[in-house]
Structure 1
Amino acid sequence: MGTVTLGVSIAVPEPYGSRLQELRAGFGDAAAHGIPTHVTLVPPTEVDAARLPAIRAHLAEVAAGFRAFAMRLEGTGTFRPLSPVVFVKVVEGGYGCTLLQGRLRDPEGPLERELAFPYHPHVTVAHGISEEAMDLAFAALADYCAEWLCEGFALYEQGSDGVWRKLREYPFGPGPAGLPTQSGSPANEAAEAVIRRS
Structure 2
Amino acid sequence: MCKQFKEIDETERLSSAEKDVLERKALENAAVRTNPSTDYRADNLDLSALTPGGVKKMQKKNPLEWESYAQLSRIGYKQRLLHERGNAAANIDISLFLDGEWHYWDMKTIEGGLSALRKRMSECYSKWGRLSEPGATLPTGIDFDDLDNPRVVVENRYSKIADANEEKQIVESMKYLSAKGQFGFSEAMLILKDGRTRLIK
When the two structures are superposed, what TM-score results if normalisation uses the length of structure 2?
0.28
Q: Name the larger-Rg structure.
A: 2
Tell me which protein shows more helix as a share of its residues: 2
When the two structures are superposed, what TM-score results if normalisation uses the length of structure 1?
0.29
Highest RCO, 1 vs 2 (Cα 8 Å, sep ≥ 6): 1
Tell me which protein shows more strand as a share of its residues: 1
